[in-house]
Amino acid sequence: MRPGKPAAGAKFALRRPDCDINGTVIIFRAFLICLLPVSAWAANPLLKGDTLRRVTLMSASDEIPSGWCGRAVLSLLNQSGVGRGLKPGNGQEWERILSGAGWKPVKVASPWRAPLGSVLVYLGDRLLGKHPRGTPGGYFGHVEMVALSPNGGRMFVADCPRPVPGGSVPDNFTGRAWVPPGSLFSEPAPVADQIDTIMRERLGMAVAHFSKSGSQHAALQSGLQPAE
């Protein structure tokens, strides 16, 4: 059964960090709140936003039956212009299919961290030593593409668009997001390392800013001293 109207994408609020310099707590409004790049919190898109929205609409309106995720993803990738060299196959076979067409895997902590436009693969239960759960995904695995809903929320599309990843086998995710050949995308550093690097850079900028401001203030004060 195809789902109804997708839910709006989740919104994330970033807390504004503080930094203690020489015992004085300074809130870095201009230095810290704009610093954490999108790559630290959500992966960069591999396809344009209008293409990703169009993919979701195509997934919702095609004639491919539910359960035929591999066939649906192949159709969507071909229509998106990135299907060169890809072949049909069941969901769990798609890592081999993508690798054979030159796609590259990027490790991700969860499907929610995968780049927009990437392809995610989930294995069938038997390959993981489980008893099949009685769904097409349980027997043959699942494959999906990360896209966008018309209102900008993240969607996971295959035989139909879904607001949550994995179809019937979300626990069988391989941990890899597959990106097209030639994508200017490399595996990111761990988020904690990215944040630490950014904070150290911004701390240096802040110290330099306030040191300069302090010097200018001292010079101004000196110039206003009454002559003796």
The strand pairing partners of 105, in sequence order, are 178
Cβ(66)–Cβ(160) under 8 Å?
yes
- Going from the C-alpha of 192 to that of each of 38, 154, 175, the distances in angstroms are 14, 23, 19
List pLDDT tens digits, range 114-162: 999 999 999 999 999 999 999 999 999 999 999 999 988 999 999 999 9
Tell me how far the alpha carbon of residue 180 is from its chain's centroid.
15
Lowest-confidence region among 27-36, 159-168, 171-180, 200-209: 27-36
Task: Indicate the burial class of 94 (C-beta count within 10 angstroms; 0-12, 13-18, 19 or more).
Answer: buried
Q: What is the mean pLDDT of residues 104-118?
A: 96
pLDDT surpasses 70 at 29: no
Query: CA–CA distance from 162 to each of 55, 56, 130, 158, 213 (Å)?
Result: 12, 9, 24, 8, 52
Domains in the chain, please, with CATH?
Answer: 46-179 (3.90.1720.10)
